[in-house]
Structure 1
Amino acid sequence: MSQAMPRLAPLEPPYAPEIQAQFDRIMRGAPPLLLFRVMAGHARAWEKFRGGSLLDRGPLSLREREIVIDRTCAKNACEYEWGVHVAAFAEAADLTTEQVRATVRDKADAACWSPAEQALIAAVDALHERATLGDAEFKSLSAHYNEAQILEIIMLCGFYRTVSYLANTMALPLETSAARFPK
């Protein structure tokens, strides 16, 4: 996926004032991501995409949220979104280099994770592989997370699977500032 241009044309600056305002809110002064520029070129898709965002102060910690997002994107072979999130949030989420690597390369029970994080990653893996949690997986997840957190985990997995579909299918070239999958 090292194409120079995505399959769908992104918006080019200058952006309409309402789109610029949305980009400013999302990106906090940084240039808009290519994914956002492509989506914003399609009003209905952009509205729905922004409406599904889960990057607010929800019931999960930043660290938990980013583990779910990174693992989901890795499972979906979406280096674009994984790399954006690792570059933007891994440090703030206190993810070590080993843990970042583990989101792509290791099993859920890797020693670098706490028991709660292992349950979290196992849930992401199960949702990716089977679109459901078995009784044992749900029990393990419930031992560490409450109902609101479990719903958030499921929603994050679904939303970032959709983001992965979008980024992968549009063949988005990797952002220059984004991280790359470990070898």
Structure 2
Amino acid sequence: MSKTAPRVAPLQPPYPPALQDAFNRIMQGKPPLVLFRTIATSERAWTKFSAAGLLDRGPLSLRQREIIIDRVCARGACEYEWGVHVTIFAEAAQLTSAQVRATVLEGADAACWDESEKALIAAVDALHERATLSDSEFAALRLHYDEKQTLEILMLCGFYRTVTYLANGLKLPLEDDAARFPSM
């Protein structure tokens, strides 16, 4: 991790049994992320945060979900969460190195995306910039995604905007093994 100290000290092991069980479920035997250990300093915050997770099998594919999350984090300058997601999910989501790079450095019209993915990225960008979608942006999204998928897209954008606020606002140190933003 980087040498920057977070603004709220994360919990250190040993963790209370119920929290250790939750960490084990989420992390599948790996040490819990600094983000999780920091949020868990408040039982209420941890309960609310962990109940709002959208990493289960929802109406979007893993690839679609990760494109959204990576773009939200990139637009919010959240290298912490972007790096965690790229490291854990990019390969399984079949994101190429050019696509991973594009989530940070290119527009929604980048040649590496198909039309449905361009619509996702354009929606993320619009929500980031204006907290809404124009009628034409919404229609472009609906050309490729049904109502349930569209709601999931909006919820993912909002949830990961919150994660971005948490990671950036708390100045969480980057995880040692997580990817870093590409440079120009």
Q: Which TM bucket (shorter chain)? A: over 0.9
Structure 1 residue 4: deviation in Å?
A: 3.3
- 1:112 match: 112
The letter of the residue matching 2:120 is L
The letter for the 2-side match of 1:98 is: A
| Structure 1 residues 19-30: aligned runs within 5 Å | 19-30=19-30
For structure 1, the residue ranges without an aligned partner over 5 or more in a row are none
Q: How does 1:121-140 map to 2 (within 5 A)?
A: 121-140=121-140
1:71 is aligned to 2:74: no
Counterparts of 1:70-89 in structure 2, within 5 Å, are 70-89=70-89
User: Partners in 1 of 2:123 and 2:175 — Cα distance?
Assistant: 29
How far off is 1:177 after superposition? 0.8
Query: Equivalents in 2 of 1:59, 1:176: separation in Å?
Result: 32
Deviations 1:136-164 (A, max 9, x none): 10110000000000000000000000000
Which residue of structure 1 lines up, in the alignment, with residue 166 of structure 2? 166
- Give distance in 2, aligned partners of 1:110 and 1:122: 11
In structure 2, distance between residues paired with 1:116 and 1:101: 18
TM-score, reference length from structure 1: 0.98
Residues of 1 paired with 2:104 and 2:150: CA distance? 22
Equivalence for 1:49: 49
Instruction: Specify the alignment match of 1:179 in structure 2.
Output: 179
Tell me the amino acid that sits aligned with residue 126 of structure 1: A
- Equivalent in the alignment of 1:12: 12
Moved segments of 4+, more than 6 Å:
none
What is the distance in 1 between the residues matched to 2:62 and 2:6?
30
* Preserved CA contact (<8 Å) 1:66 1:85: yes
Question: How many angstroms apart in 2 are the aligned matches of 1:67 and 1:151?
Answer: 16
In the aligned structure 2, how far is the partner of 1:73 from the partner of 1:11? 24
Question: How many pairs align?
Answer: 183
Q: Name the CA distance, whole Å, in 1 between partners of 2:70 and 2:4.
A: 24
CA-to-aligned-CA distance 1:66-120 (integer Å, 9 cap, x gap): 0000000000000000000000000000000000000000000100000000001
Report the CA distance shift for 1:3/1:168 in structure 2 as closer, same or farther (over 3 A): farther
CA RMSD of aligned residues (A): 1.0
CA distance in 1, matches of 2:136, 2:110: 18
The answer (yes or no) to whether the contact 2:4–2:171 under 8 Å persists in 1 is: no
Shift of 1:2: 4.3
